[in-house]
Structure 1
Amino acid sequence: MSLKQSPSRTALEAARAATRLARQVAVALGDLDLSPSQYRLLLFLSEGNAAASAVAGRLAVSRPSVTALADGLEKRGLLQRQGDPSDRRKVAHELTEAGRQVLAAADEAVADRISGIVAHLEADQADQALEGLALWNEALTLVRGGQEPRP
């Protein structure tokens, strides 16, 4: 099924798959007592520390939502907050070593879950499905970076 054959049907199938896949990610994270939102925050912070406003913008959530997510992760010792000495209003969030370890375990759990699902496909289809998800990751990264769509 190609996008050129039936864009609306293909887009609908992709949207439905993304929704179902999101649930599978949530199931994989459940054993680690992480929500998908907490996982996304850990992923973002693995790229470096960030102020709450930057985190909120990047995760497309409100600042109070970032605060609630960070509160839970901080209580578990997975992130730490540090005030900015030059501006007391700013607080940076940073992963702790425990946070990096939980993120690595979460990455493995999600990858294992996805691998288990695609194992139901023929080998070439499984490869295509995984490559498709990797392309989605690339596209989402480009959107986040503000890159204009390609012609």
Structure 2
Amino acid sequence: MNPDAVQAVRALARASRVLERVSGELNLAHYRVLAAIGSGDERASRIAARLALGRPTVSAAVASLCQRGLLTRAHDAGDRRAAALALTLEGEALLDRVESEMVARIEDLCTRTPDGARVLESLRWLGAAIDEKHAERRAAREGRDR
């Protein structure tokens, strides 16, 4: 096993905990759901697939976030089973506040590395790679369903 890769995995696991601690008002799962909706995903099934979470997990998070007044759920007239999700003004404000706190923490940590800008760039690349892998899995799944 590659020792550098092991260290990278451990650092990412620790970084996720750092982000969760700084987000205080939201656990990381709820943050991920709000961020996905804030990025334009509005269906729970798409969010579940994108975040690699089970539909029951996303449904529970959506119910909790709606109860807190952070999300609204409107039924799609064309598909009674589907619901369009949207951030409320309070949800948008909380997401902005939490992301500001997370960004400040990541930027602080990056200043403690030899090349903070490169660390941020690498994390963006990692995010793009995750999106690419997700798109490949989705296309393969859709190909099997035909």
TM tier relative to shorter chain: 0.7 to 0.9
**Which structure: greater helix fraction?**
2
**Identity of counterpart residues, as a percentage?**
31
> Partner residue of 1:139?
129
Structure 2 unmatched ranges of 5 or more: 140-146
Distance, in Å, in 2 between the alignment partners of 1:138 and 1:56 is 18
Which whole-Å CA distance do the structure 1 matches of 2:38 and 2:62 have between them? 14
Q: Report the equivalent of 2:119.
A: 129
Are the aligned partners of 1:50 and 1:94 in contact in 2 as well (CA < 8 Å)? Answer: yes
Q: 1:87 to 1:131 in 2, by over 3 A?
A: closer
Aligned pairs, number: 138
Contact 1:29–1:35 (CA under 8 A) maintained in structure 2: yes
Letter in 2 for 1:145: A
Q: Give, in angstroms, the shift of residue 15 of structure 1.
A: 0.6
User: TM-score with structure 2 length normalisation?
Assistant: 0.84
| 2:59 matched residue in structure 1 | 67
Map residues 67-146 of structure 1 onto 2, 5 A cutoff.
67-122=59-114, 125-146=115-136
4+ aligned runs moved over 4 Å, structure 1? none
Aligned to 1:4: none
How big is the alpha-carbon RMSD for the aligned residues of Structure 1 and Structure 2? 1.9
- After superposition, the Cα gap between the structure-2 partners of 1:48 and 1:126, relative to the gap in structure 1 and judged at 3 Å, is closer
Q: Which letter maps to 2:81?
A: R
Unaligned runs of 5+ in 1: 1-6
CA drift of 1:53 comes to 1.5
The letter for the 2-side match of 1:137 is G
C-alpha contact 1:56 1:63 (8 A) present in aligned 2: yes
